């Protein structure tokens, strides 16, 4: 069933089939001088709900379907983790990859402990260190990290009802934070690309249908670092399957004209790696072949140049709404019923995050973007 | 009974099932850009709320005992909604300014910021949530009631019970440097590097949590600070954004940004805001019309 009338909307609201989500996302700390014309993924930024710690936490090139309740884990081997003041040391690594935002647990580990920054740790290296938020002492324990997908809350699963966004608003009171454009998207899956040196095609593994939008219609892809990349401005070629058209739907390739997407060398965490101005710059999504309506699955990715370090992530997303913020302090508001009739649908399990196109010359790090999202279902 | 369609909405108003109320808040506090502020503590109409009660013991708020934005009496078995809301200010330092209307459910008074015991300042909750008993959508709002020093960005966590009655701990939050009463203590236009929690306006909860049923303790980290904070459990109802001094902002909750916010019987309603500058001497006026059926 779905809401089809104004009376249906009223019935749903007055019947309690509605949810208001208050959120705040901080602009990324590593981008102190955000450059105009670049897209940034706010899911890896601080705020409420807490950041998406899943990207970069999974096995290289493995498919990771994502819903709002998805978690991944990483762990030290038995008794090979320790904490001294605010430094967690992964003396001998066992499984998964430790990422910023991962909640740490173990005997003696203080409740609410999480990783706030990478030290020498890159996720899975023995002896790697990570900065945590609570000073404490923990000796020789098995320490486990749990990564949550984060995401704006939207009211939980409602099937067999259909959920829609009715309103959204967002503003910032921080100086020089406008104009920007905020994009709301549903994060469907991610692939960690920790291999920074292979120049032949890297094949994705564990292929499975997207948890939502399985037909791929409207689904797009973007590349975001979870560990800042080192030098090496590589082009990107993505091989994918498009939604079923009756023709040859597999083996679709990123178009080479006018140019393949060109990664920014030394790209900071959260910056969409090929966005910006100039040749080879696109945003926010990797271009598709003409008339392709989306991505049903991804097959391979090829880089033309190796990078000295860093970890990229291919994020599979479904864009839902765009919110332009024109002026600092002035809220951008969207009424998706009366103002821009569209009522974007939110599927059960949707993992909602935001990306931002920066139109101001220098957007300060950690700037706060505050807003709310109203949903209704029936 | 609830209003289910346009006809019933019209009939409710024709039958006189409506209440119209005006308000005026005249803050005397010196506020700063981007730091959320609790207008319930400001002079004007409705009368200010001071969160004055025995320290660390939860106490409920209700219209019948504490006032707030007047919305009419109890209507059960009918249901009451905000139909129209309008707000304006002629003070240049108060615009543009988002305002959030909240139902303030209960608060834990006078939590001492200098209590840095490892287990935290224990909170006594001898009551249940007076409204929204499941805790879904309930937020924590920490409000300064006796000014701290404002130095060093003190840090704190709150141990609470979520909607499943599981004890959880919030991420670490940092205090801002604004010291006036009514300041929402952890908010700021800019976060602090390495702090993954939110600067505004409600506390970040543990991952996956959708609400709060009670607070068990407040843990002040490091050396804490002087000052007292009241932790308020609130339910956000609607947001309205004042843009400029030359025009009212008015919202028909049925037609504009359709939400039909429901007001539970005896709800204590008031507002928080995020000013661009000082609210001292600002005059914020408005009205609210409710309808029930």
| Mutation for testing the A interface, residue in B207, B216, B277 having most A CBs under 10 Å | B207
| Residue B114: pLDDT over 80 | yes
Maximum CA extent, chain B: 60
Which pLDDT value is given to residue A265? 86
Q: What is the helix (H) or strand (E) element at residue B11, kind and residue range? A: helix B6-14
Q: What is the DSSP string of A128-184?
A: EEEEEEEEEEEEEE--EEEEE---B------TTS-EEEEEEEEE--STT--SEEEEE
B5, B160, B189, best to mutate vs chain A, most A CBs in 10 Å: B189
- Chain A nearest-CA residue for B244: A330
Q: In the structure, what pLDDT confidence band is assigned to residue A183 with cuts at 50, 70 and 90?
A: very high
Taking the C-alpha atoms of residue B43 and residue A312, their distance in angstroms, rounded to an integer, is 53
Q: Taking CB atoms and an 8 Å cut-off, how many pairs form between chains A and B? A: 175
Q: Max CA-CA distance within chain A?
A: 62
Across the range B164-191, mean pLDDT stands at 92
Per-residue pLDDT, averaged over A167-190, amounts to 95
Looking at residue A31, what is its pLDDT? 64
- The β-bridge relationship of strands B18-25 and B284-292 is antiparallel
- ipTM higher than the 0.85 cut: yes
Instruction: Please provide residue A265's backbone torsions phi and psi, each rounded to the nearest 5 degrees.
Output: -65, 145
pLDDT of residue A32 exceeding 70, the answer is: no
pLDDT at site A325: 95
Total count of residues recorded for chain A: 378
**B9 interaction partners in chain A (CB closer than 8 Å):** 10
Cβ–Cβ under 8 Å, residues A226 and A44: yes
What are the beta bridge partners of residue A34?
A363
End-to-end CA distance of chain B: 6
Reported confidence tier of residue B256, pLDDT bands at 50, 70, 90: confident
- Quote the CA–CA distance of B34 and B189 in Å, as a whole number: 5
Which residues from A are below 8 Å from B139, CB to CB?
Answer: 22
Question: Would you say A371 and A180 are in contact if contact means Cβ atoms under 8 Å apart?
Answer: no
DSSP-assigned letters across all residues of A342-376: ---EE-TT--EEEEEEE-SS-BPTTBEEEEEEEEE
Residues of B in contact with A24 (CB under 8 A): 198-201
Q: Tell if the CB–CB gap between A10 and B33 is shorter than 8 Å.
A: no
Identify which of B2, B9, B191 has the shortest CB distance to residue A366.
Answer: B191
CB atoms within 10 A of CB B47: 11
Q: Which residues contact B135 (CB under 8 A, 6 or more apart)?
A: B129, B161, B162, B163, B211, B212, B213
Task: Calculate how close chain B gets to A196, using CA atoms only, in Å.
Answer: 27
Q: What is the pLDDT of residues B43-65, one digit of tens each?
A: 999 999 999 999 999 999 999 99
Asked if B208 lies within 8 A of A148 by C-beta distance, the reply is: yes
Distance from CA of A284 to the nearest CA of B (A): 25
Average pLDDT score, chain A = 93
- Count of C-beta atoms within a 10 Å radius of residue B6: 15
Mean local confidence (pLDDT), A197-211: 93
Each residue's pLDDT tens digit, A117-148:
899 999 999 999 999 988 899 999 999 999 99
Please name the member of B34, B139, B201 whose beta carbon is closest to the beta carbon of A174. Answer: B34
Contacts of A233 by beta carbon, 8 Å cutoff, 6+ apart: A262, A263, A264, A265, A305
pLDDT of residue A41: 94
pLDDT grade, residue A63 (50/70/90)?
A: very high
Lowest mean pLDDT among A73-87, B81-95, B193-207, B267-281: B193-207
> Coil, helix or strand for B244?
coil
Structure confidence by residue, pLDDT tens digits, A211-222: 999 999 999 999
* Cβ neighbours of A363 in B, within 8 Å: none
| pLDDT confidence band for A51 (50 / 70 / 90) | confident
Return d(Cα B287, Cα B18) in angstroms, integer.
Answer: 13
Q: Tell me the pLDDT tens digit for each residue of A270-316.
A: 999 999 988 999 989 999 999 899 999 999 999 999 988 899 999 99
Contacts of residue A100, Cβ cutoff 8 Å, sequence gap at least 6: A44, A51, A53, A115, A116, A117, A118, A226, A269, B196
Angle at A200 (CA atoms; ends A196, A203), nearest 5 degrees: 85
Tell me if A333 and B205 make a contact (CB, 8 A cut-off).
no
φ and ψ at B63, to 5 degrees?
-60, -40
Min Cα distance B259 → chain A (Å) is: 7
How far are the Cα atoms of A69, A154, A377, B28 from residue A348, in angstroms, in the given order?
11, 9, 11, 47
> CB under 8 Å to A239, separation ≥6 — which residues?
A201, A251, A252, A253, A298, A299, A300, A301, A302
Percent of chain A's residues with pLDDT above 70: 99
Contact B37, B274 (CB under 8 A): yes
| Average pLDDT rounded to a whole number, residues B186-190 | 90
Within 8 A of B203 by CB-CB distance, chain A residues are 48
Other CB atoms closer than 10 Å to residue B4's CB: what's the count?
17
Q: Does the pLDDT of residue A169 top 90, yes or no?
A: yes
Coil, strand or helix at A110: coil
Measure CB to CB from residue A24 to each of B195, B198, B243 and give the nearest one: B198
- Would you say how long chain B is, in residues? 293
Task: Express each pLDDT in A322-378 by its tens digit.
Answer: 999 999 999 999 999 988 888 999 999 999 999 999 998 888 888 999 999 999 999
Mean pLDDT of B244-260: 90
pLDDT tens digits along B207-220: 889 999 999 999 99
Q: What is the pLDDT of residue A33?
A: 60
Which residues lie across from A37 on neighbouring strands? none
pLDDT of residue A308: 87
- How far apart, in whole angstroms, are the C-alpha atoms of residue A269 and residue A273? 9
Sign of the CA dihedral running A8, A12, A14, A18: negative
């Amino acid at each position: 069933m779905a809401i089809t009338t104004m009376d249906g909307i009223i019935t749903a609201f007055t019947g309690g089939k509605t949810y208001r989500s208050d959120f705040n996302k901080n602009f990324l700390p590593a981008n102190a001088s955000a450059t105009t014309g670049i897209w940034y993924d706010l899911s890896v930024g601080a705020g409420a709900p807490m950041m998406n710690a899943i990207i970069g936490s999974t096995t290289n090139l493995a498919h990771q379907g994502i819903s709002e309740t998805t978690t991944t884990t990483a762990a030290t081997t038995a008794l090979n983790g320790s904490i001294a003041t605010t430094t967690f040391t992964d003396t001998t690594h066992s499984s998964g990859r430790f990422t910023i935002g991962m909640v740490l647990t173990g005997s003696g580990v203080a409740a609410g402990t999480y990783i706030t920054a990478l030290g020498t740790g890159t996720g899975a290296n023995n002896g790697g260190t990570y900065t945590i938020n609570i000073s404490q002492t923990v000796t020789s324990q098995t320490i486990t990290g749990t990564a949550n997908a984060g995401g704006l809350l939207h009211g939980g699963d409602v099937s067999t009802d259909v959920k829609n966004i009715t309103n959204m608003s967002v503003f910032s009171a921080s100086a020089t934070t406008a104009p920007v454009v905020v994009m709301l998207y549903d994060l469907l899956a991610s692939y960690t690309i920790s291999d920074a040196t292979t120049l032949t095609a890297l094949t994705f593994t564990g292929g499975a249908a997207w948890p939502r939008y399985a037909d791929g219609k409207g689904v797009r892809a973007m590349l975001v670092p979870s560990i800042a990349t080192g030098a090496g401005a590589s082009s990107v070629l993505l091989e994918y399957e498009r939604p079923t058209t009756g023709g040859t739907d597999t083996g679709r390739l990123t178009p080479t004209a006018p140019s393949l997407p060109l990664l920014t060398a030394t790209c900071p965490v959260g910056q969409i790696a090929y966005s910006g101005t100039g040749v080879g710059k696109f945003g926010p999504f990797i271009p598709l072949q003409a008339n392709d309506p989306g991505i049903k699955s991804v097959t391979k990715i090829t880089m033309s140049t190796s990078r000295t370090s860093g970890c990229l992530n291919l994020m599979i997303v479904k864009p839902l709404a765009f919110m332009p913020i024109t002026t600092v302090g002035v809220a951008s508001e969207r009424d998706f019923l009366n103002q821009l009739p569209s009522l974007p649908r939110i599927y059960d399990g949707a993992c909602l995050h935001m990306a931002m196109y920066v139109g101001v010359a220098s957007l300060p790090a950690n700037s706060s973007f505050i807003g709310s999202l109203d949903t209704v279902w029936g | 009974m609830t209003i289910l369609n346009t006809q019933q909405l019209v009939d409710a108003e024709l039958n006189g099932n409506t209440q119209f109320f005006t308000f005026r808040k005249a803050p005397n506090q010196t506020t700063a850009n981007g730091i959320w502020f609790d207008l319930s503590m400001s002079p004007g109409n409705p009368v200010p709320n001071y969160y004055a009660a025995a320290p660390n013991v939860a106490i409920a708020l209700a219209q019948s005992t504490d006032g707030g934005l007047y919305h009419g009496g109890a209507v059960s078995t009918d249901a009451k909604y905000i139909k129209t809301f309008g707000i304006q200010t002629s003070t240049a330092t108060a615009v543009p300014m988002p305002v959030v209307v909240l139902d303030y459910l209960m608060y834990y008074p006078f939590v001492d910021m200098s209590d840095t015991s490892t287990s935290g300042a224990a909170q006594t909750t001898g009551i249940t949530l007076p409204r929204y008993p499941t805790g879904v959508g309930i937020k924590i709002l920490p409000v300064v009631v006796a000014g701290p020093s404002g130095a060093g960005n003190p840090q704190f966590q709150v141990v609470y019970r979520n909607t499943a009655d599981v004890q959880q701990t919030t991420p670490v939050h940092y205090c801002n440097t604004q010291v006036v009463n009514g300041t929402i203590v952890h908010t700021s236009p800019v976060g602090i590097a390495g702090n993954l929690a939110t600067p505004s306006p409600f506390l970040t909860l543990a991952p996956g949590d959708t609400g709060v049923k009670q607070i068990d303790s407040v843990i002040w980290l490091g050396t804490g600070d002087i000052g007292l904070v009241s932790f308020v459990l609130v339910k956000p109802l609607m947001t309205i954004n004042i843009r400029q001094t030359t025009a009212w902002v008015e919202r028909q909750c049925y037609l504009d940004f359709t939400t039909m916010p429901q007001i539970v019987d005896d709800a204590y309603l008031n507002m928080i805001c995020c000013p661009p500058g000082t609210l001292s001497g600002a005059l914020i006026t408005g009205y609210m019309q409710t309808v029930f059926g």
